[in-house]
């Protein structure tokens, strides 16, 4: 009897954990989807065509080395990146981020950058790079907040 009670409590706890874990996975998926939407909004253009990401059915998530990038369509997958488009994307990303996520000051024109968990992160100086890598979640929270503000400002400017 005691064994049966222990087993049923363990099973009940296990099913509660599974339900909680499932909810956590859904939260993670929603957060990741929002993160990708912000990253694409900051990138703005396709590195292959130079066209806006939503011009051909995109954005399509892809990889370039260790970086997560977005393409305008499936036909761009595997095609070479145009240097001039890539240069514009780096400018777009830095402009959308706006500040160093560590010191919270405006990014200089020659901002240093690093890639953390597939994301390009710009910082005011190379000494901030290790701090970014030490706490990527905090870094991404700062960057995502900045990108959201940037995107909202861009939308407001487009309406006027």
Structure confidence at residue 29 (pLDDT): 84
d(CA 94, CA 26): 30
Give residue 55's domain range: 34-159
Question: Could you give the number of structural domains in the chain?
Answer: 1
Does the residue 44 lie in any domain? yes
Q: Which residue has the higher pLDDT, 17 or 105?
A: 105
Does the residue 12 lie in any domain? no
Does the residue 3 lie in any domain? no
Quote the mean pLDDT of the chain: 85
Structure confidence at residue 56 (pLDDT): 92
Does the residue 2 lie in any domain? no
Does the residue 145 lie in any domain? yes
pTM metric for this prediction: 0.79
Backbone angles phi, psi at 60, to 5 degrees: -110, 120
Does the residue 5 lie in any domain? no
Q: Are 26 and 41 in contact (CB under 8 A)?
A: no
Q: Which residue has the higher pLDDT, 145 or 28?
A: 145
Helix 83-97 × helix 136-159 angle, to 10°? 100
Helix 83-97 × helix 2-43 angle, to 10°? 110
Does the residue 14 lie in any domain? no
Does the residue 28 lie in any domain? no
């Amino acid at each position: 009897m005691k064994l049966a009670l222990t087993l049923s409590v363990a099973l009940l706890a296990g099913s509660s954990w599974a339900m909680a874990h499932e909810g956590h996975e859904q939260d993670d998926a929603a957060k990741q989807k929002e993160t990708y939407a912000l990253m694409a909004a900051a990138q703005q253009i396709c590195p292959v065509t130079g066209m806006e990401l939503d011009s051909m059915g995109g954005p399509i998530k892809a990889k370039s080395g260790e970086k997560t990038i977005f393409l305008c369509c499936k036909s761009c997958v595997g095609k070479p990146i145009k240097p001039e488009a890539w240069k514009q994307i780096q400018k777009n990303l830095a402009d959308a981020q706006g500040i160093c996520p560590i010191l919270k000051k405006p990014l200089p024109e020659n901002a240093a950058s690093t890639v953390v968990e597939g994301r390009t992160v710009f910082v005011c100086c190379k000494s901030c790079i290790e701090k970014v890598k030490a706490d990527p979640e905090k870094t991404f929270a700062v960057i995502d907040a900045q990108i959201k503000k940037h995107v909202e400002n861009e939308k407001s400017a487009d309406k006027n």
